[in-house]
Amino acid sequence: MTMAGQTINDRLLAARHSLAGQGLAKSVCKATTEECIGPKKKHLDYLVHCTNEPNVSIPHLANLLIERSQNANWVVVYKSLITTHHLMAYGNERFMQYLASSNSTFNLSSFLDKGTVQDGGMGVPGGRMGYDMSPFIRRYAKYLNEKSLSYRAMAFDFCKVKRGKEEGSLRSMNAEKLLKTLPVLQAQLDALLEFDCQSNDLSNGMSIPLYCLSKRIT
């Protein structure tokens, strides 16, 4: 049963966090609802803003997202991964640093949603089954884990380094550092290519924003 696109579970969870005065947890829940669309921009923007606030605990924020990724519903899990990826790309670097330095990773190598059938949040039957989307979730989580490991090894994000023929960071590295860097970069690229989302997989409101995100910021 849904109300304005959100399920009763979504609304009860948000209300519980409101009553407990847990504003950050409420914001994470709003970004990772059961509604089968990508996380709303206003919620992503707010969480990006939170990463720049000195009074916001980055470990707490990261752990809230990892906790949401343990949900049984594939939509909630997918949205927690998309939100984390967005914060890696656009949030304060403290967020990436925490993920890279902690033992908190997405443990989704065996994830399988056998029961969820989504209707795209529009009340129209025929959406993708959670079973069909589960392989993408496992691959996406693996890529984000690999991205964190790359940052831990190199202390920078490959997606944010200078590019180009003249000032490209990889072009200006000395041979010793380049030999250390290339295997790390290769591992991250392998995980990205393994995700393998094709145009014919873009059949619901979740896979489209994820495809755009992976192509834009990797």
Instruction: Tell me the pLDDT of the chain (218 aa) as tens digits.
Output: 343 466 766 666 656 555 444 689 999 999 999 888 889 999 999 999 999 999 999 999 999 999 999 999 999 999 999 999 999 999 999 999 999 998 778 999 999 987 755 544 444 333 457 888 899 899 999 999 999 999 999 998 988 877 766 667 777 788 898 899 999 999 999 998 887 766 566 555 555 555 555 555 55
Residue 120's pLDDT is: 46
Q: Could you give the C-alpha distances from 184 to 102, 157, 178, 181, 193, in angstroms and in order? A: 18, 11, 10, 5, 14
Q: Which helix (H) or strand (E) holds 125?
A: none
Structural domain span for residue 200: 2-217
CA–CA distance, 35 with 38 (Å, rounded to integer): 8
Residue 36's pLDDT is: 84
Largest CA distance in the chain: 60
Nearest to 210 by CA among 197, 200, 192: 197
Asked if residues 69 and 106 have their Cβ atoms less than 8 Å apart, the reply is: yes
Q: Which helix (H) or strand (E) holds 76?
A: helix 74-90
- Total tally of structural domains belonging to the chain: 1
157: CATH: 1.25.40.90
Helix, strand, coil shares of the chain as percentages rounded to 5?
60, 5, 35
Assigned token pair, 31: 């970004």
Assigned token pair, 34: 């059961």
Asked if residues 7 and 1 have their Cβ atoms less than 8 Å apart, the reply is: yes
Asked if residues 181 and 121 have their Cβ atoms less than 8 Å apart, the reply is: no
Assigned token pair, 209: 């924003």
**pTM for this one?**
0.80
CA contacts within 13 A on the Cβ side of 152 = 15
Nearest to 95 by CA among 32, 41, 171, 44: 44
Residue 54's pLDDT is: 94
CA angle 186-90-111, nearest 5°?
A: 60
Residue 1's pLDDT is: 39
